[in-house]
């Protein structure tokens, strides 16, 4: 799956978590812009993991602060 396709699928998965309807760009930050707390992060990560059949370990999550970084990580993890 290429980056654009991956991004489109993640954008769909993020929808129910984007309570305030924040506009999503590669620079959108999960904590600061989308205001995800730790519980939301857990549920959201599980959605992404199940959606792409991958593991995003806590170690990898620590490196992901914004949407663009998540898309890049998911592209990489799909191999």
Partner 1 sequence: MTDMLSDNETQGATDLFSKFDPLIEMRRDLLSTGVTDPFGLVMEKVISPTVAMCNGRETILLGTYNYMGMTFDPDVIAAGKQALDDFGAGTTGSRVLNGTYAGHKAVEEALCDFYDMKHAMVFSTGYQANLGIISTIAGKGDYIILDIDSHASIWDGCKMGDAEVVPFKHNDIEAMEKRLRRIPEGAGKLVVLEGVYSMLGDIAPLKEMIAVAKKYGAMVLVDEAHSMGFIGPNGRGVAEDQGCLDDVDFVIGTFSKSVGTVGGFCVSNHPKFEIMRLVCRPYVFTASLPPSVVATATTSIRKLMTASEKRAHLWESSRTLHKGLTHAGFQLGTEEPQSAIIAVIMPDLERGAMMWEALLHEGLYVNLARPPATPANMTLLRCSLCAEHSAEQVQQIIGMFTRAGKTAGILA
Q: Is 1 in the site for partner 1 (CB under 8 A)?
A: no
CB of 23 to partner 1, least distance (A): 27
Q: Which runs of consecutive H residues, i.e. helices, occur in 15-53?
A: 38-52
CB of 34 to partner 1, least distance (A): 18
Query: The dihedral of CA 65, 43, 16, 7: what is its sign?
Result: positive
**How far apart are the two ends of the chain, measured CA to CA in Å?**
9
**Cα angle 13, 57, 37; round to 5:** 55
Nearer to partner 1, 21 or 38 (CB): 38
Q: Which of residues 14-53 bind partner 1 (CB under 8 A)?
A: 37-39, 42, 46, 49-50, 53
Interface with partner 1 by CB under 8 A: which residues?
37-39, 42, 46, 49-50, 53-55, 57-60
């Amino acid at each position: 799956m290429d980056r654009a396709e991956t991004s489109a699928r993640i954008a769909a998965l993020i929808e129910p978590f984007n309570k305030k309807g924040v506009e999503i760009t590669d620079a959108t930050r999960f904590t600061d812009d989308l205001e995800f707390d730790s519980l939301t992060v857990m549920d959201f990560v599980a959605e992404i993991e199940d959606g792409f059949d991958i593991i995003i370990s806590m170690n990898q999550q620590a490196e992901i602060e914004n949407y663009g970084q998540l898309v890049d990580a998911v592209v990489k993890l799909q191999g």
